Amino acid sequence: MLRLYSSHLNFMKKEYQPEVLEPAVQKFWQAHQCFKATEDPNKEKFYCLSMFPYPSGHLHVGHVRNYVLGDVIARYQRMLGKNVLHPIGWDAFGLPAENAALKHGVAPAEWTYANIDHMRTPLKQLGLGFDWSREITTCKPDYYRWEQWLFVQLLKKGLVYKKNSAVNWDPVDHTVLANEQVIDGRGWRSGALIERREIPQWFFKITAYADELVDDLDALTEWPEEVKTMQRHWIGRSSGLTIQFKIDKNCALNDNAAESSVVQSIDVFTTRPDTLFGVTFLAISPQHTLARYAAEHNIQIQKFIASYQQVSVAEAATATLEKQGIDSGLTARHPITHEPLAIWIANFVKSDYGCGAIMGVPAHDARDFDFAKKYQLAVRTVIQALEKEPTDDTQGPLGGQLINSGVFTGLSSAQAAMAITELLIKNGLACKKIHYRLRDWGVSRQRYWGSPIPIINCDHCGAVPVPEKDLPVILPEAIHFTGTHSPLKTMPEFYQTTCPQCHQPATRETDTLDTFVESSWYYARFACPTQAKAMLDNRAHYWLPVDHYIGGIEHAILHLLYARFFHKVLRDLDLIDSKHNEPFTRLLTQGMVLKDGTKMSKSKGNTVDPKQLMNIYGSDTLRLFVLFAAPPEQSLEWSNSGVEGAHRFLKRLWTFAYMNVWLREFNQNATSNLENPFDDTHIPTKQQAFRREIYKILQLAKHDYERQQFNTVIASSMKLLNLLSTAEHSNMNSTSATPNLAIQYIIQLGFSMLLRLLAPIVPHITHVLWQELAFTGLILDAHWPTLAADALTIEEITWVVQVNGKLRAHLSLATTADEEAIKTAALNNAIIKRYTENQAIKKMIIVPKKLINIVL
């Protein structure tokens, strides 16, 4: 047992001095390794993780919010008796390091490591209870070697493959961008106009897990609905029908093409077979094979297709895109009516979704309607809405009744969908199909600062994985950046090698992995960060899954989806417990930090420097403010007066302790302590109300901790401090500096609870006051206050008071009041006194808990 109250730690000065006590407390934590987590199978574990930071070099208020939230949750769970793991690391690869290299001529590695050192200090200053012995830095070979190893395992399992694919090419950053990195057709960092390019790339087959990734969302009951909806939408599972339309032979195709099976028929994907009679045209994407045939002798079409190459993938994906098309000159036949339908080449048809072709139903699809209007194509209504006029498919897909649909007329949409599907399938013209919006994850990056892809390209053997014994493929750190181009591509000492299979000269892959790969499994590696023999070991079985994950809503889709995918992959490789299908049991997405209503950003010059604030007010103040200003998931408006308010509260807390320093002796001499709480019934009736109030506050705070409304926990703490101040003054002996014994009990009870309620939030001041006032143990490990069994039962009974059988008054009395007290209270009541004045009282009849009858 650690010695708690030691004279060298005597902070009980009149002034609250965070600048003195905070470093001392942090030193104490460090000296005693208070946050070092060890696996203990006899204890329930709790793994709390805040998304690890990118080491930009500066800690901003958003970071502070993220890590303080995680810290509060971790500390709270520890007080509930759990074995807590709360680690931290660095998401250290990424483009900014290369930009810095270009700008300042410093190597990305050097820049990154310096930034990490720079950011560690303020993180420690915040008093975050991290297990620093588990610190992970993803740009170090001891980390990325295991993702290279995993890459090879996945390659063997067919979950990694290489293919040519159209990408968003940023001509300034010389890199491929993800769709969400393209904003209005421009690169999110460079601002350059994005081009479409086809290049060979490595892919993770995340689509193999698409169904599981959708289905398992239902089991994530402690995730925000919003995030699950975004994930569902991103995966975009949609069940529909592939319908075949026969192409007319008389089309202006060259003879070879017309004979080829490719142009015998065209498949379209639809989720609305009920609208089949409303089809007035077909449309294909500019990349469709048929479009190329159509272009062969048609310059206009060639031009149209070429102009489309310039448009980025991301832009084509947006619904708001200006619809454009050209008639291909081809026609196809409606599968039921055999009516001819023109085939258009249209920019709004995605090449990589469904069949890359659609049946145009302008009356019931908004996109088709825009297109038909622009090119004066027929609009044919085939579904009559039961209530509203049909305008587009947003009013619920199957809500109406069929018209103008041959034998299907009169059926409901749902019935028609089934009947039409059945007919088409019977005639071999359609088959059921499930499509996903989700694409495989392209992980190749034409960048330097990332994990090398462990592949050797051999002229004879093709792409050969680097043998496990040769891993990791180390990224050279001492490099010189001359342009945005990756230096790896001009370093023969890096790429020249021999083929592991045929031993002839070969070249290494010079692309690196998407940095999302590192962040997809770091949560698991924290279980065994220094394990040199394997990616994960048994400790992962103990710690995983993460019980509580905290991070920004901006990661709601990709990061979380990739990590979920990795978790399932790791599970299927038997690296983690097969019981757990998901990496993060509970998710908290914190809101943004705003100043004057806008997002804090360097470019706006409205940032606040947490370090400076900590130096002025102390980190407890900063923590308290950040938690008090808003509930975690809402945006937080920065306010200087709010910071000062938080500081004032801590000063009040300190002063209260200082004024009640008698508690130290009281606690030292008391037979009662936290392990052996005092008998609450010591508190006389008069003070029961205080006691009840204290427990009410405790109950509310517990509830708020569970639902993470820390702002209201703080409000409750403020209320509790007010209550204790009132109690302190209510019964002060006029002659003595200490309150009477009953109030002493109240203050001991209430203050020990107040400190514990606040301990996860403001760990330094509470640590010191706990010690200074000689409460038992470390507050860090003090158990969470529990509710006394009787604490909240109704403590008062309303008595009916009669005089000679007539109702004269009501009287509220404590349940604990004995007969004597009840009689006295009744006789002393002002109303009753009027009726009994100067009269002899013959007797008093008491009906327990109900009635007092005074007989004169």
In the block, which residue shows the tokens 């045939």? 293
Retrieve residue 363's tokens: 């009356």
CB of 317 to ligand ANZ, least distance (A): 9
275 lies in the site for ligand ANZ, by CB under 6 A: yes
Residue 436's identity, in one-letter code, is Y
Segment near ligand ANZ (CB under 6 A); pick from 15-23, 263-271, 528-536, 813-821: 263-271
Residue placing its CB nearer to ligand ANZ in the complex, 371 or 516:
371
Q: Which does 269 bind (CB under 5 to 8 A by kind): ligand ANZ, Zn ion, none?
A: ligand ANZ
* List of residues 6+ apart from 9 with CB closer than 8 A: 24, 28, 768, 771, 772
Q: Which does 393 bind (CB under 5 to 8 A by kind): Zn ion, ligand ANZ, none?
A: ligand ANZ
With CB under 6 A as the contact rule, the residue among 179, 271, 412, 712 that binds ligand ANZ is 271
Residue 543's identity, in one-letter code, is W
With CB under 6 A as the contact rule, the residue among 435, 652, 664, 808 that binds ligand ANZ is 435
Q: Which does 364 bind (CB under 5 to 8 A by kind): ligand ANZ, Zn ion, none?
A: ligand ANZ
Sign of CA dihedral 455, 458, 463, 465: negative
CB of 512 to ligand ANZ, least distance (A): 32
Q: Which does 499 bind (CB under 5 to 8 A by kind): ligand ANZ, Zn ion, none?
A: Zn ion
Whether the bond between 472 and the residue before it is cis, its omega within 30 degrees of 0, is yes
Residue placing its CB nearer to Zn ion in the complex, 460 or 850:
460
CB of 534 to Zn ion, least distance (A): 29
Residue placing its CB nearer to Zn ion in the complex, 422 or 459:
459
List the one residue out of 553, 580, 559, 557 whose CA is nearest residue 568: 580
The site that binds ligand ANZ (CB under 6 A) totals a number of residues, namely 19
Residue placing its CB nearer to ligand ANZ in the complex, 269 or 654:
269
Segment near ligand ANZ (CB under 6 A); pick from 54-62, 140-148, 264-272, 843-851: 264-272
CB of 236 to ligand ANZ, least distance (A): 6
Q: Are 666 and 652 in contact (CB under 8 A)?
A: no
* List of residues 6+ apart from 737 with CB closer than 8 A: 662
354 lies in the site for ligand ANZ, by CB under 6 A: yes
547 lies in the site for ligand ANZ, by CB under 6 A: no
CB of 557 to ligand ANZ, least distance (A): 16
What is the spatial distance between Cα 294 and Cα 42, in angstroms, rounded to a whole number?
Answer: 71
Segment near ligand ANZ (CB under 6 A); pick from 159-167, 169-177, 351-359, 493-501: 351-359
499 lies in the site for Zn ion, by CB under 5 A: yes
361 lies in the site for ligand ANZ, by CB under 6 A: yes
CB of 501 to Zn ion, least distance (A): 4
With CB under 6 A as the contact rule, the residue among 48, 294, 295, 358 that binds ligand ANZ is 358
What are the DSSP calls for 121-143, one per residue?
HHHHHTT----GGG-EETTSHHH
Residue placing its CB nearer to Zn ion in the complex, 74 or 499:
499
Residue placing its CB nearer to Zn ion in the complex, 53 or 465:
465
Q: Which of residues 441-480 bind Zn ion (CB under 5 A)?
A: 458, 460-461
Phi and psi, residue 383, nearest 5°: -130, 130
Sign of CA dihedral 446, 449, 451, 452: positive
Q: Which does 271 bind (CB under 5 to 8 A by kind): Zn ion, ligand ANZ, none?
A: ligand ANZ
- Tell me the C-alpha to C-alpha distance, in Å, between residue 583 and each of 545, 561, 701, 796: 5, 10, 29, 50
Q: Which does 502 bind (CB under 5 to 8 A by kind): Zn ion, ligand ANZ, none?
A: Zn ion
Q: Which of residues 371-410 bind ligand ANZ (CB under 6 A)?
A: 393
Q: Which does 354 bind (CB under 5 to 8 A by kind): ligand ANZ, Zn ion, none?
A: ligand ANZ
Segment near Zn ion (CB under 5 A); pick from 212-220, 336-344, 500-508, 706-714: 500-508
Residue placing its CB nearer to ligand ANZ in the complex, 46 or 369:
369
With CB under 5 A as the contact rule, the residue among 501, 531, 673, 725 that binds Zn ion is 501
Helix (H, G, I), strand (E, B) or coil at 176: strand
125 lies in the site for ligand ANZ, by CB under 6 A: no
Residue placing its CB nearer to Zn ion in the complex, 457 or 685:
457
What is the spatial distance between Cα 761 and Cα 4, in angstroms, rounded to a whole number?
Answer: 20
Sign of CA dihedral 541, 543, 548, 550: negative
List the one residue out of 230, 90, 66 whose CA is nearest residue 589: 66
Residue 229's identity, in one-letter code, is T
Residue placing its CB nearer to ligand ANZ in the complex, 433 or 652:
433
Q: Which of residues 118-137 bind Zn ion (CB under 5 A)?
A: none
CB of 238 to ligand ANZ, least distance (A): 3
Between 619-628 and 710-730, two packed helices, what is the crossing angle to 10 degrees? 110
Indicate the pairing of strand 281-284 with strand 357-360.
antiparallel
The site that binds Zn ion (CB under 5 A) totals a number of residues, namely 6
List the one residue out of 555, 758, 556, 544 whose CA is nearest residue 649: 758
With CB under 6 A as the contact rule, the residue among 356, 545, 610, 750 that binds ligand ANZ is 356
List the one residue out of 826, 94, 131 whose CA is nearest residue 449: 94
Residue placing its CB nearer to ligand ANZ in the complex, 283 or 754:
283
243 lies in the site for ligand ANZ, by CB under 6 A: no
Torsional class of 167: left (φ above 0), alpha (ψ -120 to 50), beta (otherwise): beta
CB atoms within 10 A of CB 755: 24
Segment near ligand ANZ (CB under 6 A); pick from 143-151, 174-182, 355-363, 797-805: 355-363
Q: Which of residues 221-240 bind ligand ANZ (CB under 6 A)?
A: 236, 238
Residue placing its CB nearer to ligand ANZ in the complex, 55 or 354:
354
Retrieve residue 584's tokens: 């993060």
CB environment 713-724: b (16+ within 10 A), e (fewer): bbbbbbbbbebb
What is the spatial distance between Cα 291 and Cα 540, in angstroms, rounded to a whole number?
Answer: 52
In the block, which residue shows the tokens 């600048």? 19
* List of residues 6+ apart from 549 with CB closer than 8 A: 49, 50, 51, 523, 583, 584, 586, 587, 588
Q: Which residues contact ligand ANZ (rule: CB under 6 A)?
A: 236, 238, 269-272, 275, 349-350, 353-354, 356, 358-359, 361, 364-365, 393, 435
Chain contacts with Zn ion (rule: CB under 5 A):
458, 460-461, 499, 501-502
